[in-house]
A = this chain, B = another copy of it.
Amino acid sequence: MKKYCFGIDIGGTTVKCGFFNTEGDLLEKWEIPTRTEENGSRILPDIAQTINDKIAERGLDKGEIEGIGIDVPGPVHEDGHVDFAVNLHWGVVDIVGEMEKLTGIRTKALNDANAAALGECWKGGGAGYHNLIMVTLGTGIGGGIVINDKVIAGAHGAGGEIGHGHATEELTEPCNCGNVGCLEQVASATGIVRLAKMRLEKDDKPSVLRGRNFSAKDIWDAVKAGDEVADEIAEKFGFYLGRELSIYTVVSDPQLIVIGGGMSKAGTVVLDYIQKYYRQYAFAACKEVEFALATLGNDAGIYGAAKVVL
């Protein structure tokens, strides 16, 4: 009888580890450092070690473990190998093959943004839903498409890479991906700061954002305080993200769109600006798609990684 599983979320500096029962209750979580030296060759052995230690510490038998789910920052093929993961200093790594050899436990691997989507769908802002689009608004924009409780990996590990849909002809500077005009250039935390700078340069209208450095959080604080220029910036952000999401929904036709990542901490005001433009542009059958904030925060990845082996 399989009673437990592990959900592992590998980031550039720490590896988050979760020990779950198969109902999805997080029984224990801890972190280990991500040792990226020597081309990241110690990362998987370190994870295998901490898992083997945990099993011994708890006096468990490996036969009680359903599996290990691992997410990594970068595209992951369906068979669980990656061609590269820049932040981990990895080239080609067969995550599944190596982990199964090191632990003797069935392993699956997926992209970190996809894991977050699956986690939110299972136990977070999307609990009770089976079809959703997860949008992670951080320094960049991550995403994940969940259809019938499964996340779409894609033929090139790029399923749900919604930060890189083309969104505007207004920019000339390139995105990190090499293209120009990606959604994440105008709707991530750095994107909304870019929009704000462009707006402030346009005229001299007074705003609390003038004459200082500001973050995405400062912009949303100004919006909440009634700053008119900040409101215009939020409208533009909402236009770009809402319109783009309306395009994504004619592909997968979700029940729900979950907004997470650092910027979502500003709260429901973020949803208000997105929904306004989403509903304007969305196809009739998709207009009533619901919106929700993510609730699992930094734990979304370990939940999603655990779910993928259940």
Binding site for B on A (CB under 8 A): 75, 131, 143, 145, 147, 152-166, 177-179, 243-244, 246-255, 281, 283-286, 289
Instruction: Assess A251 versus B251: contact at CB under 8 Å? Given A161-B285, A283-B177.
Output: yes
> Is A246's CB under 8 angstroms from B165's CB?
yes
Q: Are B253 and A159 in contact (CB under 8 A)?
A: yes
Looking at the complex, which one of B143, B159, B283 makes contact with A161 (CB distance below 8 Å)? B283
Which of B158, B164, B253 lies in contact with A158, CB distance below 8 A? B253
Cβ contact within 8 Å between A145 and B251: yes
Point out the residues of chain B lying under 8 angstroms from A286, CB to CB: 156, 158, 161
What would 29 A/B residue contacts be, using CB atoms closer than 8 Å?
A: A143-B250, A145-B252, A147-B147, A154-B253, A155-B255, A156-B253, A156-B286, A157-B285, A158-B253, A158-B283, A158-B285, A158-B286, A159-B251, A160-B251, A161-B250, A161-B283, A161-B286, A165-B246, A165-B251, A166-B243, A166-B246, A177-B284, A178-B284, A179-B281, A179-B283, A247-B247, A247-B248, A248-B251, A251-B251
A34 CB, min distance to chain B CBs, angstroms: 23
- Taking a contact as CB atoms under 8 Å apart, the answer to whether A155 and B283 are in contact is no
When distances are taken between beta carbons in the complex, the residues of chain B under 8 Å from A254 are 154-155
Q: What chain B residues lie within 8 Å of A164 (beta carbons)? A: 250, 283-284
Q: How far is the CB of A33 from chain B (nearest CB, A)?
A: 29
- CB pair A253–B285 under 8 Å, yes or no, is no
Complex alpha-carbon distance, A164 and B163, angstroms:
21
A143–B254 Cα gap in the complex (Å)? 16
Q: A162-B250, A165-B250, A285-B75 are in contact. Are A131 and B147 (CB under 8 A)?
A: no
Residue in B154, B163, B253, B284 whose beta carbon sits within 8 Å of that of A131 in the complex: B154
Known: A143-B250, A157-B253, A158-B250. 5 other contacts (CB 8 A): A75-B285, A165-B246, A165-B251, A179-B283, A179-B284
Interfacial chain B residues near A252, Cβ < 8 Å:
145, 152, 154, 159, 251-252
Q: Ordered nearest first, which 6 A-B pairs have the shortest CB separation?
A: A154-B253, A158-B285, A164-B283, A165-B247, A251-B251, A158-B253
Chain B residues with CB under 8 Å of A166's CB are: 243, 246-247, 281
Q: Which residues of B contact A161 (CB under 8 A)?
A: 250, 253, 283, 285-286
A249 to B252, CA, bound (A): 11
Contacts of A163 in B (CB 8 A): 250
Distance between Cα atoms of A122 and B285 in the complex (Å)? 28
- Please indicate the chain B residues that have their CB under 8 angstroms from the CB of A147 in the complex: 147, 152
Nearest opposing residue in chain B for A130, CB measure: B155
Q: In the complex, which residue of chain B has the Cβ closest to the Cβ of A256?
A: B155
- A243 CB contacts on chain B under 8 angstroms: 166
A75 to B95, CA, bound (A): 40
What chain B residues lie within 8 Å of A250 (beta carbons)?
Answer: 143, 158, 160-165
Which residues in B have their C-beta under 8 angstroms from that of A285?
Answer: 75, 156-158, 161
